[in-house]
Structure 1
C-alpha cells in the first residue's frame, strides 16, 4: 500500500473527511476528462493521449474524499460505462463546446445517462469545457442544443428532483469547473 493510500485510510478512519464518494468522468474523447482529473489531482496541465482503459484517482476536495474514475470517451470504451455506473454517487459529463460536429453524438450519450433508470438518483454535473477558445458556443446555445432547458435543476441545492446542472468552464484556464464541483459536492 502506498503512503498516499495509507494516509487516506487513516484520515477516513479518524473521520477527518466529512463526506466521501465515488464519481465518474464521462463524455466524448477529447472533451477534457483526463485533463480535469489530472488538474484536480496534481494541479498540472498536460496534453494526454486518448484514454485507452479506465483509470482512477483518489481526490481530496475540501472536506470531500473522492474516488474518481476516468473511463475514456472513444466509442468502443463507452460500452463499459454501464459497468461503473451502479457504484458511483455522481457523474461529471464533459462537453467540448467547440466541437460542433460531434454535438449530436454527445447529446445522445448524455440523454442515455439521464434516461437510465438505475441512475435516477445520481446527480449529473455537465461541464461545457473550452470556453476560452474562439469558436466556443455559449451557455444559451449549449442548453438549446443539448435540450437542457426544463431538465436542469438550478445551481442551488434542490432535494425534490434529481440534480442536473450545466456549468461553463475552461479547464485549461482554471475557470468555472470549481463552481460545478462545489455544486455537486452538496449531494454527497
Structure 2
C-alpha cells in the first residue's frame, strides 16, 4: 500500500494526478524501462502516443551507438513527428556512468534539445526533446523530466 500511496504522491507533486496522457517507454534492454514501469504502474497501454520516454543505460557505454541508432529511427518516424521526447540517462548511481554531456554527445543531441524549458515552444516549430539523468532504483532525477 505504501508504494501505491507513494506513486500517487509523486503524480500529484508533478502535477500529473488525474490527467490523462499516453506515454511510450523505449530503450535498449537493461536500460531500466521495466523498473520505471513498475515504479509508475499504469492501468493500460494506449494506441496513440502523447510522449516518448526513451531510457538509456548511462553506465553501458559500449551500447551508446546502438541506442543512438534506435533513437534516430524513432526521431525520424513520421508517426512520432510531433511527439515530445524525454531521454532518461539511467543508472547514474553507478560509478563511472556517463555524464549528461557525454550522453548528449554519444546520442548526437548536443544541438537538438530544447534547453529544459528555456525554448518557447509555442513560438517555434521545435519538438520538445530533453535529456535528464536519473537513477530509477534510487528514485531520483526522472521526476524533473516528467514535469
Q: Secondary structure at the match of 2:115?
A: coil
- Structure with higher Rg: it is 1
Q: Normalising by the residue count of structure 2, what TM-score does the alignment of the two structures yield?
A: 0.80
Higher strand share: 1
Cα deviation, residue 148, structure 1: 0.5
Cα deviation, residue 135, structure 1: 2.2
| Residue aligning to 2:121 | 158
| Residue aligning to 2:10 | none
| Residue aligning to 2:110 | 149
Measure, in 2, the Cα distance between the counterparts of 1:90 and 1:150: 20
Structure 2, unmatched stretches of 5+, are 1-16
CA contact (8 A) 1:92 1:126 kept: yes
Cα deviation, residue 114, structure 1: 0.9
| Residue aligning to 2:8 | none
Q: Secondary structure at the match of 1:21?
A: coil
RMSD: 1.7
| Residue aligning to 2:77 | 116
Q: Normalising by the residue count of structure 1, what TM-score does the alignment of the two structures yield?
A: 0.63
Structure 1, unmatched stretches of 5+, are 1-15, 42-56, 59-66, 70-83, 183-188
Cα deviation, residue 35, structure 1: 0.2
Q: How far does the alpha carbon of each residue in 1:153-175 deviate from its partner, in whole angstroms, 9 at most, with x for none?
A: 12116232110000000001111
| Residue aligning to 1:94 | 55
In the alignment of these two chains, the number of paired residues is 127
Higher relative contact order (CA 8 A, sep 6+): 2
CA contact (8 A) 1:25 1:68 kept: no
Cα deviation, residue 116, structure 1: 1.2
Measure, in 1, the Cα distance between the counterparts of 2:25 and 2:71: 12
Q: 1:23-42 alignment to 2 at 5 Å? A: 23-41=23-41
Off by >3 Å, runs of 4+ in structure 1: none
